[in-house]
Structure 1
Amino acid sequence: MVDEGASIIDIGGESSRPGAAAVSVSEELERVCPVIEALRKISDVAVSVDTSTPEVMTEAIRLGASMINDIRALSREGALEAASRCNVPVCLMHMQGTPETMQQNPAYTDVVAEIEQFLKSRTDAAVQAGISRENISWDPGFGFGKTIEHNLQLLQALPRFVASGQPLLVGVSRKSMLGQLTGQPLDERLAAGLAVATIAAQAGVAVIRTHDVRETIDAVKVAAAFVRGQL
């Protein structure tokens, strides 16, 4: 991924797929820490630790990670305090429910407004805990407690989230929403993922999380040139 141009490598030890069960703190540490240590020996690329667990945040940053990416928006007990002590950028994501339950009939009155309000609330909590507002980015959480209709509404609302002022991260690569839209299996969703990456880049999204680095970078370069009027 580094060779293909990735700016950040996101490392996590707890699956967040629909229906996934939680793992113990010790197991998460055993999965994450050796990978960060090994990566630090061969590359100085920025490392993001994908975790909700305070102990994992602290140890990952000690080992050389430089960002915390939390699908639970620092809501676990002790997470706000740990992230504040780490003093690194954090990404707060929205999720309705838990990975075990999130796709069991997700419902909203106004999905965009509710997620925006949630992210603002968690940002305020983070700032009160001592985290700099400039270190906070948002992830609307595509596929995390959302129907295909909710996901499409969020996609259309990306400019609204960008206008909030917090940098936005979008991760849609290979997700089931792409399979629902195209009918393609997991390993045939590259084209759909590139379409979303292009939409996101045009909307001003700061970070795009993808499995397909080289192809996504090419798509984003073209979208960025289009926005600048340099095609």
Structure 2
Amino acid sequence: MPTLVLLPGMDGTGDLFAPFLEALGDQFKTQVVRYPTDQELGYDELLALTRRFLPIDEPYIVLGESFSGHIAISLAAEAPPLLRGLILCCTFVRNPRPALEPLKSLLPFVPLHWSPSAALGWALLGSFGSIALRAAIAGAVRRVAPKVLRARLRSVASVDVSAMLATVKVPCLYLRASRDRMVPASASVHIQDVLPLVSVVQINAPHCLLQAEPAQAARVVSSFVSEVQGAL
């Protein structure tokens, strides 16, 4: 079976994949990519870092969660010979909230680590998730330097990999959360417009889909991996 390479959301720690990895069990190998928590790296630098985690002698599938969709798409557009599939989870190919673009200049002044846990939970989980999961998400965000989070938000504000996505040839799955308060449904609609063959699966979940509904997400991802394996 192909190895599943997981690219994390905005926190970049990779720790929040734990519920999803537990739900996957030992069906196939996984590789979690972790971004530095103290370095202001842009998408190009994170892409170069991610390449170092990719298997060099076995097939693999890349899953890009939220912030990392850009990196996953960029990798797929390079058409590496061992890449067998692409999974996008609650992510986007261009700024999902263009109306906020004029506020980008205010990012240096946003006290990200002062945001109440309740507000963070509302945005990422809504009415889903346990107290433990909410604490884990808040803890992961706190481990990342504020300057790093601001740099990643700036990257999101100016991102657009639509042209790259259009060149992707491997099978592609998009996991859409029906209760996503961060990335609107229009983001996945645009992805379908650019790459009509993408398979979209909607799950009743918040933005943190893999964390809030890990069992359902694992079933969908496992099915996709099996289909890709069967097509080899």
- TM-score range normalised by the length of the shorter chain: 0.3 to 0.5
* TM-score normalised by structure 2 residue count: 0.40
Higher relative contact order (CA 8 A, sep 6+): 2
